[in-house]
Amino acid sequence: MVIMTKNLEAGELLQMHDRNPGMPLELDWVMNTQVNRSAVERRASTIFKRRAVKKKAQIAWLLRAVSCIDLTTLAGDDTHGRVKRLCAKARSPVRKDILKEFGMEGLTVGAVCVYHSYIDTAVKALDGTNIPVAAVSTGFPDGLSPLEQRISEIKASVAAGAKEIDIVIRRGYVLSGNWEALYAEVSAYREACGDAHLKTILGTGNLSTLRNVKKASLVCMMAGADFIKTSTGKESVNATLPVSLVMVRAIREYYDRTGIKIGFKPAGGIKTAKDALAWLVLIKEELGNEWLNADMFRFGASSLLGDIERQLEHNLTGRYSADFRHPTA
C-alpha cells in the first residue's frame, strides 16, 4: 500500500515560511474585535462531525499529523539520555516497516522542543536532518522573571542552536488590557530572536474570555510573532477547539488585512489520533490547504505520536498493538 499526499513526499524537506515583519500596534482594531461565544462553541462542536476521514484518507491525514508534531519533553526530570531518545524518535517517528508499507520512508516530525539546558544535546542528536530544535524561553511557563533575564534567555537559546523560540506572554497584560505593554514585550522578543522563528504562547486557559484570546492573538501578530500557540501544557485547561477556532480566525483576519501568513500551534491535552484529525479538519476548513504543513501548523505534544502510530498499524493489521510497541523516548 502506498500513501502519498500533496506536498508530503517521502523525505521532503520543509522550510519555514517568510518571517512576519510585524506592524504598528493598531489599538482600534484590537479594541473593536468581537467574539460570539455561543456561535464559536456551536461551530467547534460540529468540526469533526461534518467531515468523515476514513480508510486511505485517514492514513494520509495521520501521516500529515506526524510531520506536524513538535515532539516535546518539558519535564522536571528530563535528562540528556531522554532527550537523545526523543531525538531518535523524531528522526524515525513511525516504525520503518509501517512507513515502508505506506511508501513514506524518510518521514520525520516537525521539530523537537526542549528546555534550554538540552538544546546542545538535541542539536547534536539531530545533526544531518532538517528537524529544527525549538526551545521554551522567557521564564516558561509563567513569564514572570525580569524582562532583561527573559531577553537573555532567548539570545542564549539562539546562540546554542535553537531555530525556534517558544515564548510565554505575561497574562497579566491581557487581563488588565495593557496592550501597549504586551506589544512592546513581544516586539523585544522578536528582535532578540534574530533569525530564529518566534512562537508566542498565549496561555489561553488563563485569559478568562475568548475575546481576550482574540485580542492577544492580534497584538502578538502585530508585534512580529511567526506562530501563535495556545498553551504551555502546564495550565489546567490547555488547547480546546473553541479557543483554537478563535485563534485561527484571528490568523485569517490578519492575513486578509496584511497578506502575512502566521502559523498556529495547539499544545497540551492533544493525545489521540482522533484529536489530531479534528485539529487538521479545523485548519483545512478555516485556513485552507496552505496551512496544512509543518511550515504553518504544529502540534505541541509528547504522547500523541504513540497513538497515531498505533492507529497506522491498526490500518495495516486490523489489530491494536500494546503501547510499549510504540515508545516515544
Q: Which residues are catalytic?
A: 166, 229, 265
Q: Which residues of 235-271 are buried (b: 16+ CB within 10 A; e: fewer)?
A: beebbbbbbbbbbbbbbbbbbeeeebbbbbbbbbbbe
The Cβ of residue 221 has, within 10 Å, a number of other Cβ atoms equal to: 26
Residues with Cβ within 8 Å of residue 141, at least 6 apart in sequence: 168, 201, 203, 232, 233, 234, 235
> Coil, strand, or helix at residue 305?
helix
Residues with Cβ within 8 Å of residue 173, at least 6 apart in sequence: 179, 181, 182, 185
- Among 240, 244, 258, 243, residue whose Cα is nearest residue 287: 244
DSSP 140-204: TTT--S-HHHHHHHHHHHHHHT-SEEEEE--HHHHHTT-HHHHHHHHHHHHHHHTTSEEEEE--G
Residues with Cβ within 8 Å of residue 36, at least 6 apart in sequence: none
Strand order, beta sheet including 299-301: 263-265, 227-229, 197-201, 164-168, 133-136, 111-114, 69-72, 299-301
Q: What is the DSSP letter of 267?
A: B
CA–CA separation, 70 vs 111, rounded Å?
5
Tell me which amino acid residue 38 is.
S
